Amino acid sequence: MSNPATKAKERGSALEKSILVLEAITEQPQAIGLPDITSRVDLPRQTVHRILLQLEVLGLVIRDSTRDRFAVGPRLSYLAHSTLRSANHGVPIRQILAPLVEELNETCNVGVLDGMEFVYLERIECDWPLRIHLQAGSRVPAHCTAGGKLLLAHLPPDLRKNYLKTAQLSRFTDNTIVHKDSLEAELDQILVQGYSVNREEYAVGIMAIGVPIFDKNGTAMSALALHAPIARLSIEDGVKSIDRLKEAAEELGRIWL
């Protein structure tokens, strides 16, 4: 007897089948061959082969001709990066950030890594007159911000190693981490404790707490952070909001990534 799920896939649109193939490729840490892709998507081999050829022409996948294996293409990487940086997904983020800011009564933001910078995708300010003003689209150095350090910590080992090798760790305050060994130790600690702390490292008098936003595969794609003046919220008191921040980050991961 035929598998109903297989029949449903066979009747699916070309777009649906292409998405299945792309998902199978992006879920792998290395290039994947046609037989493995076919097995994972449960589609006829000739169908998968045809889709792969079309995706290759579009630059969405690339093929290693020496081993006949497929990997993420430059156009797909560009689309993924552009999607995360786009201002066109603010509604679902704001739906979660707004009540979080109202509850914590402090500014919260969501951002991603872009090279050696942390880019704010969305930011909602609290009502206090004393606050730091940074709007969506603002860029800050990754090595001295809560969200930036958090995502640096979650980079794959080879990418993190390359960052530490090439980054210029500029000093902004007396607390800025400018030695690469110290930053590496800080990133290791962030992975252990599950959150990051900005101890007045970018701006004097401003602290921040950051937590990761994971996609469905458990990859930290972005960060959620709380910002506040040290005069109003100590780091010790800020850390008490970790559980609430993680709860919001989990919700963001479900509806956004």
Which of 36-50, 65-79, 206-220 shows the lowest mean pLDDT across its residues?
A: 65-79
Neighbours of 126 (CB within 10 A): 18
Architecture per CATH, domain 86-255, reads as 2-Layer Sandwich (3.30)
Short-list 50, 55, 6, CA closest to 26: 55
Block residue for tokens 């990487």? 77
Under the banding of pLDDT at 50, 70 and 90, the label for residue 100 is very high
pLDDT at 126 over 90: no
- Tens of pLDDT, residue by residue over 38-62, are 999 999 999 999 999 999 999 999 9
- For the chain, the domains span 4-73, 86-255
Question: Does residue 222 contact residue 110 with C-beta atoms inside 8 Å?
Answer: yes
Give CATH for domain 4-73: 1.10.10.10
The H or E element that residue 141 is part of is strand 139-141
Question: Does residue 36 contact residue 68 with C-beta atoms inside 8 Å?
Answer: no
Q: Provide the whole-model pTM.
A: 0.72
Residue 158 per-residue DSSP state: H
- Over residues 55-80, mean pLDDT: 88
User: 4-43 burial string, b = 16+ CB within 10 Å, else e?
Assistant: eeeeebeeeeeeebbebbbebbeeeeebbeeeebbebbeb
Query: How far is it, in rounded angstroms, from Cα 91 to Cα 118?
Result: 21
Q: Greatest CA span in the chain, whole angstroms?
A: 70
Query: How far is it, in rounded angstroms, from Cα 214 to Cα 222?
Result: 7
